[in-house]
Each structure stands twice: as structure tokens, then as C-alpha cells.
Structure 1
Amino acid sequence: MDYPKIKEYIYGNIGTLFWSSYLLIGGGMFVAYYAHIGYMPDFDLKSSVTVLSAAAITAIFTVLLLLLILIIPGAFWGNTWANNSRLKHLWENEDSGKELIGVAKWFAAPIAYFYGLLFIAFLNRLFVFPYIILGFAYLWLSLKAQNQITRKDLSKELSAFLFTTITSSFLAFLPVFLIFTLIFSPLIQQKVRH
């Protein structure tokens, strides 16, 4: 393959590639929808332009929603707690760059823990209390090793950590929840049946 020519083509046609990717994503969603309902309509020129426009708008909405799900929780975590914390040496290196393992431990794992808590509460509320105890025990053991911070500062860091984690979890979960609420809405299902 001639990588310089491919790179030159991509940079020369960035707008076309950008628009085509939206059409591809949206078109794929429409094809999946038509396959799901078991009906593929015949298109004339006017209706195909309308469907392509709707597919592009659907893809733009989907990409923006994914950006919200993936970026907003991390931006909130970084701007409210992680960049101002006295514990930031746990996820940053000497150059103030984020380390993957530290960010995974202090951002991704607590959000996954919170989702696990919701899942366990949904399945069986009997196991919620032991799950919470295990989570707080792990958090306490992780923070106990920080000798350079006073107990008062540590309690402030812990409360800021819990607030940021819960808020980031809701920010990541809210768009998904809204989509599933719309999909499984009884009103929409009644309209589809008729």
C-alpha cells in the first residue's frame, strides 16, 4: 500500500470523508432497523434523499450522544476533583501527565463499582450492603497508605471523591437510560403494534 498517497487523499478530502462516515453510520442504523422489522422499502430518488438526510442526522445525534457518554464524565472528574486533589500523585506522573493504571483505578473502577451496585440492587437487594462494605473497605485501605495527608484533609478528599464518582456515573448513565426509556416506552410500542 502507498501510505503517503492514502494520507494525502484523507487530508485532501476530510470534509467528504467526515460526511460519508456519518452517512455510513446512519445508513447502517437504518439497515439494522429495517432488518429488525423485516421490511425493506423501495426507494425512489426523492425518498432516498430524505432517508439519507435522516440517516445523517441520526448518525450525528448518535455520535454526539456517544461523545457525551465518553467525554463528559471524564471532564467532570478531571475538573472537579482530579486536577485539584492532594492525591493526584496516584494517577499523575512527574510531568503532570495522567497514568493509565492510576486513572483506571481512580476513575474507571469506581464508576464500574457504582454500576455493579446498581446491578446488584436490581437483582437482589440482600447483597447490596456487603457490596458497599467491601467497596468502602477497599477505598479505606487504598487511602490509608497516604501518610502525607492529615485525617481532616483525607476526609475532604474522600467526600470529594465520592461526590465526583457518583456524579460522573450518573453523567455516563443518563444518556443510556434516556435511550432505553424511549425504546421501551409503552406509548412507542403501542404505536408500532397498530
Structure 2
Amino acid sequence: MPHDHDNHLDPMEARVRALETILTQKGLIDPEAVDAIVETYASQVGPQNGAAVVARAWSDAEFAEWLARDATAAVASMGFAGRQGEHLQAVFNTPHQHNAVVCTLCSCYPWTLLGLPPVWYKSPAYRARMVSHPRAVLAEFGTILPETTRIRVWDSTAELRYLVVPMRPEGSEGLAPEALAALVTRESMIGTGLPKVPA
């Protein structure tokens, strides 16, 4: 029987909560271990890692070339490797092409670089509509692109996951790596958003 305070959960969250309750009651999982894993991906392994990679690519042309050629090795050189980060490809946004990522079959996602996937990334609506109507979906995220900018959608799989390297924002010249990384958002590394503009 669900608790009253669970009534506000969306259907996906409610299913996850119910499954966790059943697995816990059967002694198959330890809720504290699950919480520890979630905390690790929320605060230690997450978007800050991907942001550091993007910031380095913005400020180090040699690293950017390496990232474009062999993202797995370039990212590993910064100490970011592991779960769902074994096979990576970096795709670079330009004034002529904007890249976005979707996983049409499930929710393959580079956890090592981006942390836990957002709920919307796993939703059937996002997975279907990003392929068929990417410009409209991006607009719903508040990302309005010029009509002259081509949108390319990359389908992430168990064998290959993608990291979008957004264009460096104007006014960020001369910023330290930490300040550059603070401009990079998780959404900009999926392609549904843009980096922040320097204050």
C-alpha cells in the first residue's frame, strides 16, 4: 500500500518506489546501499565531470582535437572512467550544426560524465519526439536555434555514448578553468540546452 506522501510522484517515480519496496522486503537490496550509490552519482560522479572536460576542450586546442578523435581516452586521462563511460564519442556544436543526444531504445547515458540521467531523458515522449521533431523539442527546453543551424540527433547505445561539446559562450575569454566549467550545464552536454553566459 503506497504511503500518502507518495501520491505526488509521477508514474515512473511511483513504479521505481514500488519496485524498491518489494526488493527491500525480499531482502534483495539494501536501501542504504542504494542511497549511497545515488549520492555518489549525484554529488561525486556527475555533470561537474563533464563540465571539466568541456572547459578543458574550450581552452586547450590540443585536448579538443584528442577529444574529437578518441573521447574515451581523452576523458580517461582526466580520471573519468567507469560505468557507462567506456565508449564515448564527443560531438562539437558549431554555428552550422547543433547536436543533441537521445537513446531511442532505453536510456543509455554517460553516467561518469553527467551523473544520473534526468527523468525526461528516459521518457518515451522525449525519445520519440527528439528524433521526429528535434527543433520543436529544443524550443520546449527554451533552446531556440536559427533556422540556418542544422540539428543532428545522435542515438546513444550500449556500445557508444555521446558527449555534446557546446560552443564556448562569448565573453568567456580569459576565464579560469573552474569559471569556464561553471558555465557548462548538463543540458548543454546533452544538447537540449546551451551553456550559461558569463556575468
**TM norm structure 1:** 0.26
More helix per residue: 1
| Largest Rg, 1 or 2 | 1
More strand per residue: 2
**TM norm structure 2:** 0.26
